[in-house]
Structure 1
């Protein structure tokens, strides 16, 4: 942070707030267009007010008086739609690689609902948590939930739901003949080669995925924004799916309604307590800077692949 960013402060707290948000704006010079995420500075009393109805509020054990609150106060639903086709044509594993890197960045920064989230939710609700359940296995569990109404049961079978929320081309893509690697994610070398031999959107997508992979590599195993007290935000940074449909909309509506009815959800994803040591402070700012770089890059990637 820079002293030059502080103008006529009314108190030490005001001076710090001016300097911090000037630093934050340098990390994210422009507002995120596709991800709903913000930060606020909170004292301990403010955090307690926000989490007072959380069942696990006792797990918030502050070691200092100042906390970074990561807010998620809205959730946009983005779909690829027809923009998926150029990626399919460019390489059969590019779509899978795209969603994979979004999931990896999501885990380290703020949650993004991707196809895997929807399948996991459905499996937990109706298939005893088994995302790979067969129709025969699921039918017994569904009969317990819906009685003997075969028409309703048929709508909730894995063979019906999986293609709608998590198609095989991104969940478990087929192996590519002649490719050495057994991993479904394209390597950095493959992505760079594809970027150089492609043009337009495909080339740009490959370059952004490479940039995100390098940032993830730089982060290593350090916590970024996935640290501190998890405050149970009702929303995620955004929903990003291959194609939006009625099933996905229904899942989202049900989830939000259940969270509202439970009465514990907040608009905050995390509260991260500021360190009190010089070393800890330097590490935190380095981690947060890396997280904001990832979100900025992810926003650029989404700008390329989200259907207008």
Structure 2
């Protein structure tokens, strides 16, 4: 383990209304938290950390290379206890310079050694375990339900352009896949479909009726509010779905979205909120296009942080729902109850090994710098689109 532990049970709150308590203890809670260092709220004051671990040759070499390449600065370090302390201070000083402040996203960067990562990967049920690529890892910790809803803002968005909502959720979805996990309205529809419609979020009322009769009986009054035609407008209307299944060709298709010229035009028209949203969508679109041009990132599903081990995170960095509705609350309750009973979850989205060679180190920090810019734009879009 790397850093002094923090061992306290935590209660999680969503929008101040709903709490989810940890039903089982993960490896993160069992281990001495000399296993990690957390950075609260990213952009606030960064604490120093002390590395409590014997200095192996590989460990010292990785720390030395990061200072030697210049990505970490020696003048950011004050009275280090050892090489690990120096690394932690310098890395978090780098984060303070590069990381924007967030209003919607909630997550933390955590420094871990390979053994700490291995335990969490095993807890998450990833059977093959960890293929160790570095003695040091960067973890993305998601430890809270940060809930936000679009609510009344949907009317302004739809008045501005019929495809603006689809454009926003599509870019949010792509940015999420590239960086940190954000739960979007289509995920609530998928949850509901798994519970009530035999898993198909595109099913018709006729197709859902038999499933609902098995569950509620023959009385239509008992189950009509669970029909697709009643639920979709509440959880995820068609213009909030980034993908739709095309049964005629048996494949998923992206929703039609606005291009850069249309967004530029709309950024000069309509009300102030809609103009601001269009400007930020343009920025996010440009940053995501830049991500595709980065070496090794043409695959649209590859994470910009270079996560190579996955933690089956219980929470997202943010949840975006159409409305703060009773149905949404029930789905979240059912989801967390189910996950907690299964027990194969952690509070980490994933883990990225720190590069060990000079050229790879420079490229990795450049990729992380770009990822942080994407996150800053993603957070601003979420702030503009939600209440």
Aligned to 1:88: 158
The structure-2 alpha-carbon separation of the partners of 1:150 and 1:295, relative to structure 1 and needing over 3 Å to count, comes to same
Taking the aligned partners of 2:234 and 2:133, their CA distance within structure 1 comes to 46
* Residues paired across the two proteins, number: 298
2:305 to 213, 221, 225: 225
2:231 to 155, 161, 167: 161
Taking the aligned partners of 1:98 and 1:267, their CA distance within structure 2 comes to 27
Q: Deviation of residue 27 (structure 1)?
A: 1.9
1:262 to 316, 328, 342: 342
Aligned to 2:117: 47
Aligned to 2:372: 292
Aligned to 2:14: none
> Helix, strand or coil: the match of 1:110?
coil
2:241 to 166, 171, 174: 171
Q: Is the 8 A contact 2:121 2:309 kept in 1?
A: no
The structure-2 alpha-carbon separation of the partners of 1:29 and 1:112, relative to structure 1 and needing over 3 Å to count, comes to closer
Q: Report 1:72-151 matches (<5 A).
A: 72-146=142-216, 148=218, 150-151=220-221
Matched, 1:243 2:314: no
Query: TM-score when scaled to structure 2?
Result: 0.72
CA RMSD of aligned residues (A): 2.2
Matched, 1:204 2:276: yes
1:35 to 99, 105, 109: 105
Taking the aligned partners of 2:103 and 2:97, their CA distance within structure 1 comes to 17
Structure 1 unaligned runs (5+)?
Answer: 174-181
The structure-2 alpha-carbon separation of the partners of 1:152 and 1:50, relative to structure 1 and needing over 3 Å to count, comes to farther
1:12 to 70, 83, 87: 83
Q: Which structure features the higher share of helix residues? A: 1
> Helix, strand or coil: the match of 2:138?
strand
Structure 2 unaligned runs (5+)?
Answer: 1-71, 244-253, 293-297
Taking the aligned partners of 2:222 and 2:135, their CA distance within structure 1 comes to 53
1:280 to 353, 360, 365: 360
Q: Deviation of residue 279 (structure 1)?
A: 2.7
Matched, 1:303 2:383: yes
Q: Deviation of residue 227 (structure 1)?
A: 2.5
Q: Deviation of residue 156 (structure 1)?
A: 2.4
Query: TM-score when scaled to structure 1?
Result: 0.89
Which has the larger displacement, 53-62 or 212-221?
53-62
Taking the aligned partners of 1:172 and 1:233, their CA distance within structure 2 comes to 22
Q: Deviation of residue 142 (structure 1)?
A: 3.1
The structure-2 alpha-carbon separation of the partners of 1:226 and 1:253, relative to structure 1 and needing over 3 Å to count, comes to farther
Q: Is the 8 A contact 1:234 1:266 kept in 2?
A: yes
Taking the aligned partners of 2:202 and 2:115, their CA distance within structure 1 comes to 45
Taking the aligned partners of 2:222 and 2:77, their CA distance within structure 1 comes to 62
Deviations 1:188-232 (A, max 9, x none): 110011112345211111111011001100111253136311101
Q: Is the 8 A contact 1:107 1:226 kept in 2?
A: no
The structure-2 alpha-carbon separation of the partners of 1:59 and 1:146, relative to structure 1 and needing over 3 Å to count, comes to farther
The structure-2 alpha-carbon separation of the partners of 1:172 and 1:257, relative to structure 1 and needing over 3 Å to count, comes to closer
Matched, 1:184 2:256: yes
